[in-house]
C-alpha cells in the first residue's frame, strides 16, 4: 500500500528574488510529487513573476500582508490557516517565520522543521542579544533545525543551544545543468550592452540592500577606473537585482561619470545566461550563509571574489575556489579585481570551483537530504 502524500507548508517572509526563496522553489519543483504536495505562505507578499518559477501545478501561494511592526495580530490568522491547510510538515525559513512556530505547535502541526539561511541586518547592528534570546525560546517549538553553512551550524549549536541530534547541516544546492560555463555560440542576454572581445565585465547578482553591500563593489570599480592603469578602459560593471539601494548605486556611478560603463537591469529571470556573460563574479556582502548566487557563479566557471564573511570561506574552500577579501575594504577588493583581470579566464581557482560545486552542491544531493528529513517521523 502506498504511503499518503505529505503536505508541506513552506512559511517564509516574502516570496521574491533571494537565496532562501530560491531554495523553497527548488524543493517544490524537485521533491517527488508522489510523496509530497506543497503550499507556500508568504508573511508579507509574493512577487508574481518570481512565483512563476514554481512549475508544479496546484501549488497555492498565500500572502498574509504583514506590514511593519510585530506580527502578534497575525497569530490567530495563521492558526486558522494552519487548521484549514492541515499540513504534515511546517517548513519555516529564517527568524521572521520561526516566530510562528509556537502557533504551529498550538494547533498541533505534526512535524515542524526550521531552516536558517542567514542573519538579517538587525542581528549585525547591535541587537544580537535580543535576537539570540528569541531564538533560544523558539527552539523548543520545532522538532529539527537546518543550517545552510558551517558557521550558522556552529552558532545554532553553541550560542542558541540547539541539540546536536536535532541540527542538520544542509547547504543550498545548485542546478549544474542550468548553471554551466560559457560555450561558443551562447546567446547574449537580452539588453546586454557589453562585448566579450572588447570589455572585461565585473558582475554581481543579488538584492540591493545594506546586508549585501553592493556599494562596496561600485566604489571598488570607481577606484580602479580612476587609477588610470593600462587596461582599466576595458572594465565594465553589471549589477543585477533590485532593492532600496538601487537609486544610490545609480547616483554613485552617475556622479563618478561612469553610468555609461555600468549595466543595472533590475531583477532578471535569465540569471544563468547573464552569469555566463561575466568575466568575474564579486559577492561584496556583509553577511552570508551559503550564497546561492555564489554557488551559481562557481557552477558557471567564473573567477570569483567574495568578502570573507559567514559561509563564503567554506564555500570557496578557504581560497582554493575563489579569492576572499576583508568585508568593507574597498582597496583590497579593487586590488583583487585588478589581479583577476590580469590573470585571464580559466584560472586554477575557477576550475577548482567548478569541480567542487558539482561534487558537493549538486541539486539532487541536496534535495535528497531534505526529502529524508521531511519524511522522518
Evaluate if residue 363 carries a pLDDT over 50: yes
The pTM for the full model equals 0.81
Place of cell 592603469: 229
List, for residues 35-77, the tens digit of each pLDDT value. 999 999 999 999 999 999 999 999 999 999 998 888 889 999 9
Q: What are phi and psi of 313, to 5 degrees?
A: -65, -45
Q: With cut-offs at 50, 70 and 90, classify the pLDDT of residue 1.
A: very low
Q: What would the mean pLDDT of 146-153 be, rounded to a whole number?
A: 91
Evaluate if residue 241 carries a pLDDT over 50: yes
Q: With cut-offs at 50, 70 and 90, classify the pLDDT of residue 89.
A: very high
**Positive or negative torsion for Cα 187, 192, 195, 196:** negative
pLDDT of residue 150: 87
**Positive or negative torsion for Cα 181, 359, 153, 89:** positive
pLDDT of residue 3: 67
Alpha-helical regions (H) of the chain: 19-30, 48-51, 75-85, 94-98, 101-106, 121-124, 128-138, 150-155, 214-227, 246-255, 271-275, 292-299, 312-315, 330-343, 348-360, 363-375
* Whole-number average pLDDT of the chain: 93
Higher pLDDT pick, 118 / 284: 284
Retrieve residue 52's grid coordinates.
512563476
pLDDT of residue 374: 97
How is the chain split into domains, by residue range? 6-173+362-375, 200-360
Least Cα distance to 225 among 274, 191, 177, 259 occurs for 259
Q: How far is CA 267 from the centre of its chain?
A: 14
Higher pLDDT pick, 122 / 20: 20
List, for residues 352-362, the tens digit of each pLDDT value. 999 999 988 99
- Choose the weakest-confidence range: 231-240, 249-258, 340-349: 340-349
**Positive or negative torsion for Cα 361, 362, 363, 366:** negative
Q: Does CATH place domain 6-173+362-375 in 3.90.1640.10?
A: no
List, for residues 115-145, the tens digit of each pLDDT value. 999 876 666 655 568 889 999 999 999 999 9
pLDDT of residue 310: 85
Q: With cut-offs at 50, 70 and 90, classify the pLDDT of residue 33.
A: very high
**Residues linked to residue 92 through DSSP beta bridges, in sequence order:** 11, 114
Same fold: 6-173+362-375 with 200-360: yes
Q: Does CATH place domain 200-360 in 3.10.310.10?
A: no
Q: With cut-offs at 50, 70 and 90, classify the pLDDT of residue 339.
A: very high
pLDDT of residue 121: 65
Cβ 43 vs Cβ 11: under 8 Å:
yes
Q: What would the mean pLDDT of 281-288 be, rounded to a whole number?
A: 95
Pairwise CA distance, residues 332 & 201, whole Å: 18
Amino acid at each position: 500500500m502506498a504511503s499518503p502524500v505529505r503536505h508541506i507548508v513552506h512559511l517564509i517572509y516574502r516570496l521574491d528574488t533571494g537565496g532562501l526563496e530560491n531554495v523553497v522553489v527548488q524543493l517544490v519543483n524537485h521533491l517527488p510529487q508522489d510523496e509530497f504536495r506543497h503550499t507556500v505562505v508568504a508573511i508579507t507578499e509574493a512577487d508574481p513573476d518570481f512565483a512563476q518559477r514554481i512549475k508544479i501545478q496546484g501549488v497555492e501561494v498565500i500572502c498574509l500582508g504583514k506590514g511593519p511592526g510585530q506580527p502578534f495580530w497575525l497569530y490567530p490568522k495563521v492558526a486558522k490557516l494552519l487548521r484549514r491547510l492541515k499540513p504534515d510538515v511546517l517548513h519555516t525559513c529564517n527568524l521572521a517565520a520561526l516566530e510562528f512556530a509556537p502557533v504551529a505547535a498550538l494547533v498541533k502541526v505534526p512535524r515542524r522543521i526550521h531552516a536558517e539561511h542567514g542573519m538579517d541586518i538587525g542581528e549585525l547592528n547591535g541587537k544580537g542579544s535580543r535576537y539570540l534570546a528569541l531564538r533560544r525560546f523558539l527552539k523548543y517549538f520545532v522538532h529539527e533545525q537546518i543550517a545552510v553553512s558551517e558557521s550558522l551550524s556552529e552558532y545554532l549549536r553553541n550560542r542558541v543551544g540547539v541539540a546536536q541530534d536535532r541540527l542538520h547541516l544542509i547547504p543550498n544546492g545548485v542546478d549544474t545543468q542550468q548553471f554551466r560555463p560559457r560555450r561558443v555560440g551562447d546567446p547574449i542576454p537580452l539588453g546586454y550592452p557589453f562585448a566579450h572581445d572588447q570589455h572585461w565585465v565585473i558582475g554581481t547578482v543579488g538584492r540591493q540592500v545594506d546586508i549585501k553591500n553592493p556599494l562596496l563593489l561600485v566604489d571598488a570599480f570607481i577606484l580602479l577606473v580612476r587609477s588610470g592603469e593600462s587596461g582599466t578602459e576595458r572594465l565594465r560593471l553589471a549589477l543585477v537585482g533590485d532593492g532600496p539601494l538601487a537609486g544610490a548605486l545609480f547616483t554613485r556611478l552617475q556622479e563618478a561619470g561612469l553610468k555609461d560603463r555600468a549595466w543595472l537591469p533590475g531583477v532578471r529571470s535569465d540569471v544563468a545566461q547573464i552569469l555566463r556573460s561575466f568575466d568575474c563574479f564579486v559577492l561584496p556582502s556583509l553577511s552570508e550563509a551559503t550564497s546561492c548566487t555564489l554557488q551559481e557563479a562557481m557552477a558557471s566557471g567564473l573567477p570569483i571574489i567574495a568578502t570573507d564573511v559567514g559561509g563564503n570561506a567554506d564555500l570557496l574552500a578557504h581560497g582554493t575556489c575563489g579569492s576572499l577579501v576583508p568585508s568593507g575594504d574597498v582597496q583590497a577588493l579593487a586590488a583583487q579585481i585588478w589581479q583577476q583581470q590580469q590573470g585571464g579566464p580559466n584560472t586554477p581557482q575557477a576550475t577548482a570551483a567548478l569541480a567542487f560545486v558539482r561534487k558537493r552542491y549538486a541539486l539532487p544531493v541536496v534535495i535528497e537530504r531534505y526529502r529524508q528529513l521531511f519524511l522522518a517521523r
